């Protein structure tokens, strides 16, 4: 899964979609509704962004994953997206979990930034208990005292979840590190630890990104990443599905 943090324009999205498709990504990520720590930050394009995602899907044959932030938006997001994402700040937004538990789309549930693994599995249980069995957990780093990275990726969570649960687990090294130069090594580490997928932020021009440019891979870096992933996956006896 790859794509920009946030949908910014048709051109930005289509360029990225084409590039990630070419390298073998099968799912396009892109935020239309974006949580922003400050009310004065960019909060996404809303439904316009969803329409662009749907257009990219039609054009490139990619499935689309995007975040839903509140129960009332679930039906609208379901119209456009193939996979719903619950962000880290909403991992314990229980009424939202209830709501996505009642639809049939797969749900990617990001780990809360200070959630224990037990709390995370219980949050997944909210979705499961409403009938939606397609929950995918996503490790995206936890908050620690270390200041050089935005979060500390808890790579141990990957094999731990595999022992404790039947749910698939994927890894988001872009949010997990907050630094472009660490995304590739942490992607490879995640694969070596057994991750079932990667969610990577890619932007055609990271320095001009409206959000999270510092952690976005360039298209060239993404191109370099894909064969390395394949190679490490092969080394531990797994195969990566690409499109």
Which positions touch its own copies (CB under 8 A)? 35-40, 43, 69-72, 89-90, 92-97, 113-114, 116-119, 122, 125-126, 129, 142-149, 152-156, 158-160, 163, 176-177, 181-182, 185-186, 188-194, 228, 231-232, 234-236
- As a whole number of angstroms, the distance between CA 107 and CA 156 comes to 22
CB of 87 to its own copies, least distance (A): 9
CB of 225 to its own copies, least distance (A): 12
Residue 201 bridge partners (DSSP): 3
CB of 57 to its own copies, least distance (A): 25
Nearest CB to its own copies, comparing residues 12 and 85 = 85
Nearest CB to its own copies, comparing residues 28 and 99 = 99
Nearest CB to its own copies, comparing residues 12 and 190 = 190
Nearest CB to its own copies, comparing residues 39 and 207 = 39
CB of 207 to its own copies, least distance (A): 19
CB of 61 to its own copies, least distance (A): 29
φ, ψ dihedrals at 63, nearest 5°: -75, 160
Nearest CB to its own copies, comparing residues 75 and 94 = 94
- Inter-residue contact 66 to 80 (CB < 8 Å): yes
CB of 242 to its own copies, least distance (A): 17
Cα 130–Cα 134–Cα 162 angle in degrees, nearest 5: 115
- As a whole number of angstroms, the distance between CA 242 and CA 220 comes to 18
Residue 46, sorted as left (phi over 0), alpha (psi -120 to 50) or beta, turns out to be left
Helix (H, G, I), strand (E, B) or coil at 6: strand
Considering only CA atoms, which of 205, 123, 199, 192 is closest in space to residue 158? 192
- As a whole number of angstroms, the distance between CA 60 and CA 14 comes to 9
Nearest CB to its own copies, comparing residues 16 and 195 = 195
- As a whole number of angstroms, the distance between CA 124 and CA 88 comes to 13
């Amino acid at each position: 899964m790859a794509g920009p943090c946030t949908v910014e324009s048709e051109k930005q999205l289509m360029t990225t979609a084409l590039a990630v498709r070419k390298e073998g990504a099968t799912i396009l990520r892109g935020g239309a509704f974006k949580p922003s720590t400050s009310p004065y930050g960019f909060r996404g394009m809303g439904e316009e962004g969803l329409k662009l995602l749907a257009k990219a899907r039609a054009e490139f044959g990619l499935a689309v994953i995007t975040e839903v932030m509140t129960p009332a938006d679930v039906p609208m997001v379901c119209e456009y997206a193939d996979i719903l994402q619950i962000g880290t700040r909403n991992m314990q937004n229980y009424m939202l979990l209830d709501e996505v538990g009642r639809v049939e789309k797969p749900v990617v549930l990001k780990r809360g930034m200070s959630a224990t693994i037990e709390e995370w599995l219980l949050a997944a249980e909210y979705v499961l208990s409403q009938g939606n069995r397609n929950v995918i957990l996503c490790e995206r780093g936890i908050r620690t005292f270390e200041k050089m990275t935005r979060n500390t990726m808890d790579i141990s969570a990957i094999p731990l979840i595999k022992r404790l649960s039947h749910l698939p687990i994927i890894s988001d090294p872009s949010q997990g590190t907050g630094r472009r130069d660490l995304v590739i090594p942490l992607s490879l580490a995640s694969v070596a630890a057994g991750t079932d997928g990667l969610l990577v932020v890619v932007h055609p021009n990271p320095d001009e990104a409206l959000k999270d440019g510092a952690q976005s891979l360039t298209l060239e870096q993404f191109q370099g990443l894909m064969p390395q992933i394949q190679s490490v996956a092969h080394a531990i006896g797994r195969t990566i599905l690409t499109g």
